[in-house]
Amino acid sequence: MNIFITGATGYIGNILALRLADSNHIIHALVRDPDKARNLDHPNIKLFKGNITDIDSIKNGMEGCEQVFHLASFARLWARPSDVFFKVNVEGTNNVLAVAVEKNVSGFVYTSSTAVFGTSLNEPFSENDPRIIGFNNDYDLSKCMAEKLVMDYAAEGLHALIVNPSRVYGTGNETYSNPFTRFLKALLKGKFIAIPKCPNVVANYSYVHDVVEGHILAMKYGRRGERYILGGENISYGELFKVVKEMLPGRNVLRIPKTLLKMVGGIQLLRFYLTKKQPAFTPSAINRYYSNTAFSCRKAVEELNYKITPFKNGMAETIHHLKQLYGSN
Amino acid sequence: MDQIKFYTLITGASDGFGKALAIECARRKMNLVLVALPGPELSNLAVFIQKNFLVDVKTFEKDLTNEADCYDLHLDTLFLDLHINILINNAGIGNTQMFTEASPEFLKRQIKLNVMAPTLLTSLFVPELKKYSPAYLLNIGSLSSFFYLPKKQVYGATKSFIYFFSKCLRHELKRENISVSVACPGGMNTNFSVSLINRTANGISRISILDPEKVAPIVIGKMLKGKAVIVPGKMNQLSMLLNKLLPSFIKNIVTAKLMNDLKSLPLPSVAIQKDRSYRAA
């Protein structure tokens, strides 16, 4: 089958594209720069130069495809001017949807994020639960708006659905969406890393291979106009700290209190206004790392047959893989 | 013998600030009667609150621009024997629009929901509030009722009504042991469309924008302390203070500037075109 993928050079998209290509599908990958897309070197992957804000390039790439995986996204915590979030995540998604209707594709999976749900309270959050925090960052807002577009197209007949991966870990391209690998690599190299100092705060960690499989299952079994959380185990920072300490003994993990990190964010923001150097994060973006973001994958498990790799196994595989790649000291 | 179970009634609870108020009240262990337009959001919220907090939640799908729905709501709560000791009139329609651009139908709906509904509901529920006193009545006004902003004419006027109504009623109901408060929040990042418009604001109006989950605890806390007027946020309090101190010609310059900032929407056309899909504030 011919399958169109956006974001195939990204963290999840790359593994997905290769996995589908290995299963003898022909992949049409829309890439901004074919020369830089070396990680898509596979006889079944065809590269199409373009981007999702250029509708003609989408039309060209989607020609003859039956399915669409739309993963491309501007995934940052902050950017100025903020238009880029809306241009890429909202207008871009609208373009891909419009072309999918035109080409009469039979399946459309949009990769959103659990960021659209915000934070959870005492119990893990599920798909129908309401967002309880405001839209104080552009990424969340743009992804929510894109979801709404997908839902609108689904209501009008396109077989479109949404998957929401949580905090993804596991080896893969070291993109902005893959901080976990960066952290582990730094630890292996003997550098120190910092994690939030709030041992009881819970977050959800999904193994990248589970998420990739979840995409394929969603295309196969997902219902039109539905959302599926693709997550993993809900783990507190305290437990996370313990697991990392066990697997990588003697490494330096610093636990940073919220106020300190907020100050760092504030300094970065100040520096931006003075020097125009983009900050990595801002004070308001910090809050979510100090709030519960626990998710329930029950719907995906029940409806898609989604499988969750236990966190310890996933971490062991990841660390093993990283040691092979970079050695250990 | 069972203790009497009290309920807090919140209108416009399914979205935006109402949702934040509902969660804050649940956090404070209040049982809830949530009222909103028909749609899955209300029952989803009720399920979510019951999953996270040990409180009872009842939902009523009503269109409070209909007088009949206001009466029905009151009868429904009497019929189910729900003891309302806190009434929060939150439902309202906001907009940022030149008067000539707004349709007469929209304006009528806005006045009905922002003025008629809270007046009628207050009138209907005061007997219960009296019965179950000490009781609280919280009306949601707006900071914009203190500033004569273009594009906020009717909205600001409806909120001025709420302010005046609440302040007067406070004196009358004091002897009944009902505390009347009016909250005057500034801009908040509530739903899509409002958050988008907020992003086009600059300077003071931008930094004064708050998140509803930060505002709700302040408002509920001060309501329970019996405060007459609640203005959440330091920047908003500063605006209020400046409003009292500055001469009007300076205020006129500032408001004109603020409105100019709001005028242009440097946002993607698709977001605006597809506005049909976004629910009004």
Give the torsion through C-alpha atoms of A69, A75, A81, A85, to 10 deg: 30
- Per the CB < 8 A criterion, the answer to whether B48 and B26 are in contact is no
Which chain B residue has its CA at the smallest distance from A146's CA?
B271
Cβ-defined contact of A134 to B278 (cutoff 8 Å)? no
Quote the pLDDT of residue B204. Answer: 67
Task: Render pLDDT for A105-119 as a digit per residue (tens, 0 to 9).
Answer: 999 999 999 999 999
Residues of A in contact with B41 (CB under 8 A): 130
Q: How far apart are CA B178 and CA B136, in angstroms?
A: 5
The structure's pTM equals 0.89
Q: How far apart are CA A25 and CA A3, in angstroms?
A: 7
What kind and span of H or E run contains A162?
strand A160-165
- Per the CB < 8 A criterion, the answer to whether A100 and A160 are in contact is yes
Task: Render pLDDT for A294-327 as a digit per residue (tens, 0 to 9).
Answer: 999 999 999 999 999 999 999 999 999 988 887 7
Which pair of structure tokens corresponds to residue A171?
Answer: 């080896």
Mean pLDDT for chain A overall: 92
Comparing CA positions, the residue from B38, B33, B71 lying closest to residue B55 is B33
Quote the pLDDT of residue B251. Answer: 80
Residues of B in contact with A86 (CB under 8 A): 267-268, 271
Q: Where do the domains of chain B lie? A: 6-277
Cβ-defined contact of A130 to B19 (cutoff 8 Å)? yes
Task: Render pLDDT for B203-240 as a digit per residue (tens, 0 to 9).
Answer: 667 778 889 999 999 999 999 999 999 999 988 898 88
Task: Kindly report the nearest CA distance between residue A10 and chain B, in angstroms.
Answer: 24
Q: How far apart are CA B141 and CA B234, in angstroms?
A: 17
Q: How far apart are CA A145 and CA A150, in angstroms?
A: 9
Q: Which of B59, B194, B270, B273 to mutate to test the interface with A (most CBs of A within 10 A)?
A: B270
A325 at interface of B, judged by CB pairs closer than 8 A: no
pLDDT of A40 > 60? The answer is yes
**B44-52 long-range Cβ contacts below 8 angstroms, 24+ apart:** B44/A128, B44/A129, B44/A130, B45/A130, B45/B13, B45/B14, B45/B19, B47/A128, B47/A129, B48/A128, B48/A129, B48/A130, B49/B22, B49/B23, B51/A123, B51/A129, B52/A121, B52/A122, B52/A123, B52/B26
- Per the CB < 8 A criterion, the answer to whether A108 and A65 are in contact is no
**B268-275 long-range Cβ contacts below 8 angstroms, 24+ apart:** B268/A83, B268/A86, B268/A87, B268/A90, B268/A91, B269/A91, B270/A90, B270/A91, B270/A94, B270/A149, B271/A86, B271/A90, B271/A145, B271/B196, B274/A94, B274/A148, B274/A149, B274/A152, B275/B193
Quote the pLDDT of residue B259. Answer: 65
pLDDT of A91 > 70? The answer is yes
Task: Render pLDDT for A16-29 as a digit per residue (tens, 0 to 9).
Answer: 999 999 999 999 99
Q: Of residues B192 and A239, which shows the higher confidence score?
A: A239
DSSP tag of A17 = H
Mean pLDDT, residues B77-88: 97
Task: Render pLDDT for B1-37 as a digit per residue (tens, 0 to 9).
Answer: 467 899 999 999 999 999 999 999 999 999 999 999 9
Looking at CATH, the fold of the domain delimited by A2-169+207-233+294-309 is given as Rossmann fold (3.40.50)
pLDDT category, A192, cuts 50, 70, 90? confident
Spatial neighbors of B234 by CB under 8 A, at least 6 apart, are none
What kind and span of H or E run contains A167?
strand A167-169
Which pair of structure tokens corresponds to residue A316?
Answer: 């062991």
Which chain B residue has its CA at the smallest distance from A118's CA?
B213
Task: Render pLDDT for B170-213 as a digit per residue (tens, 0 to 9).
Answer: 999 999 999 999 999 998 988 777 888 777 666 667 778 889 99
Q: Of residues A249 and B41, which shows the higher confidence score?
A: B41
Mean pLDDT, residues A244-249: 87
Q: How far apart are CA B159 and CA B166, in angstroms?
A: 10
Comparing CA positions, the residue from A247, A165, A176 lying closest to residue A205 is A165
Scanning A152-171 for CB atoms below 8 A from B yields: 152
Q: How far apart are CA A134 and CA B194, in angstroms?
A: 10
pLDDT category, A269, cuts 50, 70, 90? confident
Task: Render pLDDT for A124-178 as a digit per residue (tens, 0 to 9).
Answer: 999 999 999 988 888 999 999 999 999 999 999 999 999 999 999 998 888 877 8
Which chain A residue has its CA at the smallest distance from B211's CA?
A134
Cβ-defined contact of A136 to B189 (cutoff 8 Å)? yes
Cβ-defined contact of B53 to A82 (cutoff 8 Å)? no
Quote the pLDDT of residue A82. Answer: 81
Mean pLDDT, residues A34-59: 94
Task: Kindly report the nearest CA distance between residue A135 and chain B, in angstroms.
Answer: 5
Quote the pLDDT of residue B268. Answer: 41
Cβ-defined contact of B41 to A130 (cutoff 8 Å)? yes
Q: Of residues A39 and A97, which shows the higher confidence score?
A: A97
Reduced to 3 states, what is the DSSP secondary structure of residue A47? strand
Task: Render pLDDT for B119-154 as a digit per residue (tens, 0 to 9).
Answer: 999 999 999 999 999 999 999 999 988 888 888 899
Quote the pLDDT of residue A197. Answer: 86
Residues of A in contact with B20 (CB under 8 A): 132, 134
Task: Kindly report the nearest CA distance between residue A286 and chain B, in angstroms.
Answer: 14
**What residues form DSSP beta bridges with B146?**
none
Q: How far apart are CA B16 and CA B62, in angstroms?
A: 17
What's the number of CA atoms in the CB half-sphere (13 Å) around residue B77? Answer: 32
Residues of B in contact with A132 (CB under 8 A): 19-20, 23, 213
Q: How far apart are CA A190 and CA A252, in angstroms?
A: 8
Reduced to 3 states, what is the DSSP secondary structure of residue A260? helix
pLDDT of B86 > 90? The answer is yes
DSSP tag of A222 = P
Spatial neighbors of B164 by CB under 8 A, at least 6 apart, are none
Cβ-defined contact of B44 to A94 (cutoff 8 Å)? no
Percentage of residues of chain A with pLDDT beyond 70: 99
Cβ-defined contact of A133 to B211 (cutoff 8 Å)? yes
**What residues form DSSP beta bridges with A202?**
A236
Quote the pLDDT of residue B263. Answer: 52
pLDDT category, B274, cuts 50, 70, 90? very low
Mean pLDDT, residues A201-215: 97
Which pair of structure tokens corresponds to residue B73?
Answer: 């709501």
> How big is the A-B interface in CB pairs under 8 Å?
80
What's the number of CA atoms in the CB half-sphere (13 Å) around residue B254? Answer: 14
Task: Render pLDDT for B32-79 as a digit per residue (tens, 0 to 9).
Answer: 999 999 999 999 999 999 999 999 999 999 999 999 999 999 999 999
Does domain B6-277 fall under CATH 3.30.470.20? My reply is: no
Cβ-defined contact of B268 to A133 (cutoff 8 Å)? no
- Per the CB < 8 A criterion, the answer to whether B122 and B169 are in contact is yes
Which pair of structure tokens corresponds to residue B183?
Answer: 């909250």
Q: How far apart are CA B35 and CA A218, in angstroms?
A: 35
Cis peptide bond N-terminal to B104, omega within 30: no
